[in-house]
Amino acid sequence: MSKRAGNNRLREAAAGYGFMSPAILILGCFLLLPILYAIFLSVHKVNLLGEVSYKFTGTANFERMIDDQRLWIALRNTARYALIVVPSQTILALVLASILNMKIRFRNFFRVAYYLPTVTSSAVLVLIFMWIYNTNGLLNFLLEKVGLPTYNWLGDPSVALAGIMIMNIWSTAPLFMVIYLAALQDIPQSQYEAAEIDGAGVWQKFWRITVPQLKPVTFYVVVMGIIGTFQLFDQSYIFSAGSGGPNNATLTMVLLIYQYAFKNLDMGYASALAFMLAVVIMLITVIQRFFFREEKLN
């Protein structure tokens, strides 16, 4: 009897590892191993020419960051970008979701339509916007029509980042809208009914019930927005043809890492930058998870 139970357990273990083995193999080789390798690279100087060789340099790569002018430019761009994009897309997402949550006709049509930018590749979106932004393009045409100043959206350093911002608010807000929409449907209808009996109007209900109830989701959306800002790459790469120009106006953290790694072939320093970026992003994620869990328990 006990032998049979043991056999059974063995068979279960074999089945378990069998089911897990492809995932273990892939995640092990292309996620866990690279993480360790990344830490190794970040404390070495890597020579890629000829035979790959490494020279241990301790914290030199990290110390180098302090004097790296372009890193500070990238960080400043990221901060400026986050300050405008994150609040804008969050508010837009909340407004759209609240409206779509009302009893309206064609609700599904609007939901499906609004989501369209999110399923389109960033390469395509950037090209479409470059076509709209070019000096003789649609945007300048419309601005001129209503008597506003026109810009060289792609070549003028003072507006190039704004061009990416507008595009990203437009393409990311619908994603967060869907998250808000799901959260709105979880708010118990009875709360609104109770408020109605107390004579609360549409606005009061929105500010007193909807907004407070959505606090954890808003927190989540804001954090995701900030992380997305740190991870910005495709858009600035395509816009600037990989340079981060004009005059570093569209330089982002990941683009900087890419340039150091694949243009300057300075893999050690690039890895150190990637490591710092990952630490920052993970800290933000951990803080968010921590608060989110707290909120849920309350």
Span between the terminal Cα atoms of the chain, in Å? 49
* Three-state secondary-structure class, residue 120: coil
For another protein, the binding residues in 38-57 under the rule CB under 8 A are 38, 41, 52
Segment (H or E) for 119: helix 116-119
164 contributes a contact to another protein by CB under 8 A: no
Q: How far is CA 62 from CA 55, 58, 68, 273, in A?
A: 15, 9, 10, 8
Under 8 Å between Cβ of 205 and 195: yes
For another protein, the binding residues in 102-121 under the rule CB under 8 A are 102-104, 110-121
For another protein, the binding residues in 119-158 under the rule CB under 8 A are 119-125, 127-132, 134, 136, 138, 141
Q: How many binding residues for another protein (CB under 8 A)?
A: 94
Under 8 Å between Cβ of 232 and 81: yes
Segment interacting with another protein (CB under 8 A) among 65-73, 74-82, 146-154, 251-259: 251-259
Q: To the nearest whole angstrom, how small is the minimum distance from the Cβ of residue 49 to another protein? A: 13
Segment interacting with another protein (CB under 8 A) among 61-69, 78-86, 149-157, 226-234: 226-234
Q: From the list 164, 214, 238, 249, which residue makes contact with another protein (rule: CB under 8 A)?
A: 238
Give the residue among 230, 235, 233 at the shortest CA–CA distance from 284. 230
User: In this structure, what are the phi and psi dihedrals at residue 277, rounded to the nearest 5 degrees?
Assistant: -60, -45
258 contributes a contact to another protein by CB under 8 A: yes
Nearer to another protein, 12 or 63 (CB): 12
* Three-state secondary-structure class, residue 165: helix
For another protein, the binding residues in 168-197 under the rule CB under 8 A are 170, 174-175, 178-179, 181-182, 196
Total number of residues shown for the chain:
298
* Three-state secondary-structure class, residue 266: coil
Q: From the list 191, 231, 243, 247, which residue makes contact with another protein (rule: CB under 8 A)?
A: 231
Q: From the list 6, 7, 12, 72, which residue makes contact with another protein (rule: CB under 8 A)?
A: 12
31 contributes a contact to another protein by CB under 8 A: yes
